[in-house]
Amino acid sequence: MSYTDTFIRVAVDCPAETGVVPVSARPHPPVHVIQHELLSGAPYAYTHEELLYEVHVRHKGISEQERAERRKEIWTALFSKSHPCLRASMLPKKYGWGIHYNSEGKIAIYGKESPEYDHYTSGSEDGVKLLNAMRNKK
């Protein structure tokens, strides 16, 4: 699911008080580490679908050459199945990152302690829908 003009707040049971950079000791980083790397490095560069694709190819270790040759095939196979929205991502659930979708559906992340997070969650931004990230436990 992709959103526009939406801000996903940090989960109410998120253990982080500020935006924490996720790290991993694994040789292949997990999805949330790749998401953070992409979104913090290039705010508003990716739509949800573009982010899913880029995370997928990096997570699977697909080479640049193979991506160029098989982009349409990889894209079609990836989106033949449904995917959870970023409300279910570990970034707002565990690491304290709010997620903003602009009017074009492009995504940026903001730490819970940031002025931008306060701005979007205060409701002062006209037309921005506020959603909560999914809880860690029911």
pLDDT by residue (tens digit) across 58-75?
999 999 999 999 999 999
Residues 118 and 106: their CA atoms lie apart, in Å, by 19
pLDDT of residue 138: 66
In this structure, the number of other CB atoms found within 10 A of the CB of residue 117 comes to: 22
pLDDT of residue 1: 62
Distances from the Cα of 18 to the Cαs of 14, 33, 64, in angstroms? Answer: 10, 16, 34
Q: What is the mean pLDDT of the chain?
A: 95
pLDDT of residue 87 exceeding 80, the answer is: yes
